[in-house]
Structure 1
């Protein structure tokens, strides 16, 4: 186990400034995230994660005014002396005008407005959080940010080269069993001759070299690979620009045993050679 404890990020700030977006991005970056946590329980969460996942697991907790009277104890419970981890207090803020507009668009009342106006709730929240904002390790003003810009900022601050890479899954499947519902791209390999009709290849599958060689040697196979993989690279670059870090490519044939499996392995290999974090899966292999 790594002897160096991973980071603890405490996310707080104004309602409507982007706490949920930040928490989601931190989760995508590999953090164990707990939302709306009473500050007195921070050290307990750290201890439970240390015991179950190890000290190398980064943690993020979201604390806000919904925590009520517990909120005053945040500073005492977030220190490295208490948690045993290096801690960053992230405060998200925006102008009142923007926060009002975002809350009205969400059609949700402010937790501190009571029977008053939304703006009154925001002003009260600023008073409660004033000292915490001044003590924050990092303040991000999201006034002029959209969702993608905020996730980019969080990734820039808390991501690692490994966590910010695009993770690509290439999966084979059989059309007779249905198209994978989570696929971002679907390609049909039924334009290639089926090894099922070659007696010596029928009992094998696309991971076996004779089948893989047969599939890739068919007319159009290499042309397809040479044209399709660059399309996937173009899409992958766009995904990263838009803050998406997961891409699923589904490669299908009739039964998900020969053509789709062989082409899935080849596509995964070519993307891997280009530096992508790729895993190859075979949904329906062995199903028949």
Structure 2
């Protein structure tokens, strides 16, 4: 996609930091709490990477001195560069922001100027009133879940590029149950029901990455059927995980020692999913206890 700039501003406690993290997951280079005067220079630096950085997202905070004047100057400079940009203004009800500050125990940036946090919020609203007129999009996050915030940001980004989608990563890990489950696994498949190459003295020294072991495992109908069932299940599940807002899905495939059967099945599933998704493969236990693995 062409280089894009996404500027986030608005009320403190309305979700600016969460929005920045969402944009980071979408592949934007992100900078929090940057003075408006520095944004044009940062854009030039990103452009100088010759496409390595395809998008810049920044949060601009009211704590910056000469905030209004510098913000106007920044907008004019970006306009002169003919670069697509969005200005997202986030707001929320006073009571919601007070509750969020009480929960996080953070200090409102204007608390020193206001006698209470509620007075500080209202003071900030007053100072940001003109900035709000520059916004291309305004979101009230009062009743938003994190997923709803992400959905709205994706909707806004679709005007940049209709193909914008979250970066979604699938990791496939083969492992041995004797060494413990991968603690970060979301889906676990147990392939210990398959015939074990360990009990063939000729195959025992080899791993599941060799043709000898691979042919042994895949020659069994139950192995081939299992792979097809898992493919169908993942075709059903993965889009639902994406729709739910997950950015990473960790799939673990285990046999007793993690050297033979799990490796073969993991390789097959990886070969299938990598045609559709950004997929990484990791054989965690393939080299552990080579001589005694079962």
Under TM normalisation by the shorter chain, which class is it? 0.7 to 0.9
The separation in 1 between residues aligned to 2:236 and 2:53, in whole angstroms, is 34
Instruction: Write 1 or 2 for the structure with the bigger share of helix.
Output: 1
SS in 2 for 1:89: strand
The total of aligned residue pairs comes to 284
Question: Of 44, 47, 50, which aligns to 1:50?
Answer: 47
1:165–1:27 distance in 2 versus 1, CA, 3 Å: closer
Q: CA deviation at 1:165?
A: 6.2
Name the residue aligned to 1:158.
Answer: 157
Is the CA contact (8 Å cut-off) linking 2:27 and 2:167 kept in structure 1?
no
Superposed CA RMSD: 2.9
Q: Tell me, which stretches of 5 or more residues in structure 2 are unaligned?
A: none
The separation in 2 between residues aligned to 1:266 and 1:284, in whole angstroms, is 17
Name the residue aligned to 2:22.
Answer: 25
Question: Of 94, 97, 100, which aligns to 2:98?
Answer: 100
Q: CA deviation at 1:93?
A: 1.5
1:201–1:46 distance in 2 versus 1, CA, 3 Å: farther
1:141–1:188 distance in 2 versus 1, CA, 3 Å: same
Alignment of 1:205-224 (within 5 A): 205-218=207-220, 220-224=222-226
The separation in 2 between residues aligned to 1:94 and 1:145, in whole angstroms, is 10
Is the CA contact (8 Å cut-off) linking 2:94 and 2:118 kept in structure 1?
yes
Q: CA deviation at 1:83?
A: 6.0
Q: CA deviation at 1:71?
A: 5.8
1:148-181 Cα distance to aligned partner (Å, 9 max, x none): 1111111232266363364322122344555433
Name the residue aligned to 1:86.
Answer: 84
SS in 2 for 1:41: helix
Q: CA deviation at 1:38?
A: 1.7
TM-score, normalised with respect to structure 2: 0.82
Is the CA contact (8 Å cut-off) linking 1:172 and 1:283 kept in structure 2?
yes
Name the residue aligned to 1:12.
Answer: 9
The separation in 2 between residues aligned to 1:272 and 1:58, in whole angstroms, is 25
Is the CA contact (8 Å cut-off) linking 2:198 and 2:260 kept in structure 1?
yes
The separation in 2 between residues aligned to 1:44 and 1:256, in whole angstroms, is 51
SS in 2 for 1:49: helix
Name the residue aligned to 1:139.
Answer: 138
1:193-216 Cα distance to aligned partner (Å, 9 max, x none): 332343443454323343223213
1:171–1:82 distance in 2 versus 1, CA, 3 Å: farther
1:9–1:202 distance in 2 versus 1, CA, 3 Å: same
Stretch of structure 1 that moved more, 165-174 or 142-151: 165-174
Q: Tell me, which stretches of 5 or more residues in structure 1 are unaligned?
A: none
1:209–1:155 distance in 2 versus 1, CA, 3 Å: farther
1:181–1:75 distance in 2 versus 1, CA, 3 Å: farther
Name the residue aligned to 2:280.
Answer: 279
Q: CA deviation at 1:189?
A: 2.6
TM-score, normalised with respect to structure 1: 0.84
